[in-house]
Structure 1
Amino acid sequence: MRGSVLEGRIAVVTGAARGVGAALARELSAHGMRVALLGRETATLRSVARTLPGDARCYGVDVTDRAGMTRTAAEVAGDMGQASVVVANAGIAATGPFETADPELWERVVGVNLLGSATTARVFLPHLVRTRGYFLQIASTAAFGAAPMMSAYCASKAGAESFALSLRAEMAPAGVGVGIAYLHWTGTAMTQDIDEHPVLRALRSSQPRFAGRVHEAEQVARWLRHGVERRAAGIYCPPWLRLMQPLRPLFPFVVARVARRGLAHLDTAAVEEAAGILGAGGLADWQAPRPHDASPP
């Protein structure tokens, strides 16, 4: 799948209405792939599709809706053909203390980020087996060490990493590659208020300056596309994160200690006021009606 081998192949990107998903759709399209954009915001998906230089189709679907995703996988096959690349990118985040968090919102974050990724893999694996393709799980450095006030997001991203590792071993005999992308601070709607949001500001300020840098979604998309071309097992955005892997056994302790210090001086009232869903994409998902047939994978 190197270089020109991407030309004419079909890629599926979930959560493609904005942020990294939209940027990656543009990047893959610019390198010759035909792209199926999946997400809940159909009008926004169509706006993104109009910016793509190549063939693109939009499919409005909730990644946690197994029946809807099954239909979508069949529609993609009928409209475009069998996918060679599938990117489980759809994700939302929420902040706030677990003790006072809305249980439904907490479970929705886990549902989209973890169960939605599993459903995406489940319905598109038949495509990838036929094409001997590549499944890319978008994870996060939240899987390295869990930060307080973001328990649902951290739990879901750690779970998504573990899921992809298990899937990699299972699918290797079938010739299907499985990669995991570790994203750090990325400039999307989810982080647009990073300097004003009390929790995000505290978490970022507690990190070394180089680690607190926010990377544009377009740059992250370029790193991801290079990884797709190489069928990489791990994609690090930014690349220096690869150097952190050997230190991961230490991360839970370090992150907990540093985050505790950074959050200790926060105004409790400000934290509670800012608690809830992050970003326009997450808000759109949270406010949208749930499909009656939504079910776990």
Structure 2
Amino acid sequence: MPTVRHNRPHPAEHDSPLRGRVAVVTGAARGVGEALARRLSAQGMRIALLGREEETLSQVAATLATTTVCVAADVTDQAALDRAARQVEERLGAADVVVANAGIAVGGPFTSTDAELWRRVIDVNLVGAANTARAFLPQLARTRGYFLQIASTAAFGSAPMMSAYCASKAGAESFALALRGEVEPEGVAVGIAYLHWTGTDMLAGIDEHPVLRALRRHQPSFARRIHSPAQVADWLATGVTHRARSIYAPPWLRWCQPLRPLFPFVVSRVARHELREGSTDDLGADVGVLGAGGHADWTSFRSET
């Protein structure tokens, strides 16, 4: 059963056009999902927190400024998401905003990464986004709402040793672009958020990842900056308010869009140098699942299979 909390209103909610509306955020237990839920709640939205970790979701809900509902659901399970959508509507009303944020990452060579783990990244990041859209689009059609797909600059240029994550984020971007054309006639807007270096627990192991470490080292100083989840959530919330087609976190990323044809070449060149210079032990090590959220998902998944 979902957990519902009725929290005290936040003063800022009276100034926001989002006041009283319903937002659904997947992957809301920590990181960007948690920070965005907090930011949207501060603007007066009623929040549905979806994720695998029910206890952690409840802890987040207890700190929010408005009414929330917590639903434990695996985004790769369409039936579970369909049930979650019904529970959200029953408890809060039809969704006005749905944020497909749930995501995990794994680092390491493709050939030494467990095949089931590799597929899990694709399932959560890409199939999970599609499942989320399928479950909530009927509500968004009624509210003429907004669907936000969280993507990444990983879609700009694929990094070796991150094949599943890069493929899934590129696929999620393509899915959202295709979906946009289908649902716009119904009044549903679709946005895509491009996140760069963000200080979540997923990034905590970056120094153990030779290619990502090299890519960051070769970027200009302003592009190497790691932004906090709270800062990223501010940019995302502004985009949600304006039903933006594209959200860039940080904003300067918008100027990279015209240069995207060059990025695969640049990434490939840096990666080739790093792979050539690195030791066999360093490059052959399977870094594994990145971040506490990814570990929690993988542990739960393995226990169920």
Q: Under a length normalisation based on structure 1, what TM-score does the superposition of the two structures give?
A: 0.94
Partner of 1:277: 289
Q: Deviations for 1:92-111, whole angstroms, at most 9, x for unmatched residues?
A: 00011112211101000000
Deviations 1:185-244 (A, max 9, x none): 000010123234434322321322221111000000000000000100000000000000
2:73 paired with 1:67: no
Mapped to 2, the partners of 1:204 and 1:281 lie a distance apart of 23
Considering Cα pairs closer than 8 Å and 6+ residues apart, tell me whether 1 or 2 has the greater RCO.
Answer: 1
Sequence identity, in percent?
66
CA contact (8 A) 2:275 2:283 kept: no
Q: In the alignment, which of 151, 155, 177 is matched to residue 165 of structure 1?
A: 177
Q: Aligned equivalents of 2:179 and 2:275: distance in 1?
A: 36
C-alpha deviations, 1:2-51, integer Å up to 9, x for none? x6220000000000000000000000000110000000011111111111
Which runs of no fewer than 5 residues in structure 1 stay unpaired?
none
Q: Which residue of 1 aligns with 2:32?
A: 20
Aligned amino acid, residue 149 of structure 1: M
Contact 2:208 2:287 in 1 (8 A): no
Q: Counterparts of 2:65 and 2:32 in 1: how far apart (Å)?
A: 17
Tell me which of 174, 194, 198 is aligned to 1:186.
198
Alignment partner, residue 113 of structure 1: 125
Q: Mapping of 1:72-111 within 5 angstroms?
A: 72-111=84-123
Alignment of 1:1-297 (within 5 A): 4-289=16-301
Cα distance between partner residues in 1 of 2:30 and 2:286: 22
What 5-or-longer segments of structure 2 have no aligned partner?
1-14
CA shift, 1:141, in A, is 0.3
Q: Are 1:93 and 1:153, in contact at CA under 8 Å, matched by a contact in 2?
A: yes
Alpha-carbon offset, residue 259 of structure 1: 2.4
Distance in 2 separating the partners of 1:224 and 1:288: 29
Distance in 2, Cα, partners of 1:157 & 1:291: 26
In structure 2, what residue type is equivalent to 1:269? D
Q: How far apart, CA to CA, are the structure 1 residues paired with 2:71 and 2:275?
A: 41
Query: How many residues end up aligned between the 2 structures?
Result: 291
Runs of 4+ off more than 4 Å: none
CA RMSD of aligned residues (A): 1.5
Code of the aligned partner of 1:70: D
TM-score by length of 2: 0.92
Deviation for aligned residue 1:291:
9.3
